[in-house]
Structure 1
Amino acid sequence: MSAAWPNATLVHLPVHASWLNQVEIYFSILQRKAIAGADFPDLDALAERIMAFQERYNATADPFDWRYTRRDLNDYLHRLAAHEPAFAA
């Protein structure tokens, strides 16, 4: 990757806490609360609705206090492993 895109930086994010998951949650809320079932006459009306929703959402949203630690993940993985069948070599 570095050879093809020298100015790009590869960042490994934990699957269970990816920032992308948070973005997907926001867009899901936006779709359900502001867009679904509405009929917009043009893109400007849609953009206006989205921006109004964003202002309202930001005014009432609270930061998420993430408490899932590496120890929590390791405990969970150990519990999962305990239920996996043993493979014969």
Structure 2
Amino acid sequence: MLDVYKRPFDQLHPIICMDESPKQLISETRKPIPASPGRSAKYDYEYKRCGMANIFLACEPLAGKRMIKVTERRTALDWAGFIEEIAAQYEQAEKITLVMDNLNTHKAGSFYEKFPPEKAKALWDRFEFVHTPKHGSWLNIAEIELNVLWGQCLNRRIDDIETVRKEAVAWQDIRNNKNAKVNWQFATADARVKLSRLYPTLNS
């Protein structure tokens, strides 16, 4: 997978990283006390659960692009629909390399659940799927982008999915307008040093 990140930028063969994360929708049960000079804002520890949302995020690290979709669920159909949207953004690409984890919905069967067989096969063939290793989701650059989204935008109580959608899209547009890229430094040689315990030892 690290060799994939070493590939040069190529519009015909873009490298896309994809990840998803749940977002609990929470409302306040008591009115917060706003900040005042010398005093920070105060929020009561009690809250009310208002359901869940799911955030899909895809990014092209070498181009400084990302796209977000917020859904009510995290089903195979939702994932297949998001992959279709990624493919539509890269109509001119000959092959799209997609880095993602091994979640049980990330499989060919999800396409066949949502689309007719011909379309499912055509969509599947547009991608080269690269999976992060088990317990190695941190190698997915999209996970880094999700952490940035969380820290800059969604790290607070939000009680409705429409607000999550609006704020996530606004964040996406700001990041894209800045052409914010990721300078990935962790290479295969680094992995052999830092993760030496995972490599077999050959006795001479």
**Please, what TM-score do these two structures have when normalized by structure 1?**
0.50
CA separation of 1:35 and 1:73: change in aligned 2, threshold 3 A: closer
Cα RMSD after superposing both structures: 3.5
Long gaps (5+) in structure 2: 1-107, 110-120, 198-204
Q: Could you tell me how far apart the structure 1 residues matched to 2:146 and 2:138 are? A: 17
- Alignment of 1:52 with 2:173, yes or no, is no
- 1:20-62 per-residue CA deviation (whole Å, 9 max, x = no partner) reads xx2222111111211122534x322220111001111122243
CA apart distance, 1:12: 5.5
Q: Could you tell me how far apart the structure 2 residues matched to 1:32 and 1:25 are? A: 11
Q: 1:25 aligns with which of 121, 125, 144?
A: 144
Larger RCO, structures 1/2 (Cα 8 Å, 6+ apart) = 2
**If you compute each CA radius of gyration, which structure gives the higher value, 1 or 2?**
1
CA separation of 1:12 and 1:76: change in aligned 2, threshold 3 A: same
Q: Could you tell me how far apart the structure 2 residues matched to 1:28 and 1:77 are? A: 23
> 2:9: which partner in 1?
none
Q: Could you tell me how far apart the structure 1 residues matched to 2:148 and 2:189 are? A: 31
Q: How many residues end up aligned between the 2 structures? A: 73
**DSSP 3-state at the match of 1:53:** helix
Amino acid at match of 2:154: I
Q: Could you tell me how far apart the structure 2 residues matched to 1:36 and 1:16 are? A: 21
CA separation of 1:46 and 1:18: change in aligned 2, threshold 3 A: same
**DSSP 3-state at the match of 2:183:** coil
CA apart distance, 1:10: 7.6
CA apart distance, 1:77: 5.4
Q: Could you tell me how far apart the structure 2 residues matched to 1:44 and 1:16 are? A: 28
CA apart distance, 1:63: 2.5
CA separation of 1:34 and 1:47: change in aligned 2, threshold 3 A: same
Query: Identity across aligned pairs (percent)?
Result: 18
Amino acid at match of 1:43: I
Amino acid at match of 1:18: L
Select the structure that is richer in strand: 2
**Please, what TM-score do these two structures have when normalized by structure 2?**
0.27
**DSSP 3-state at the match of 1:39:** coil
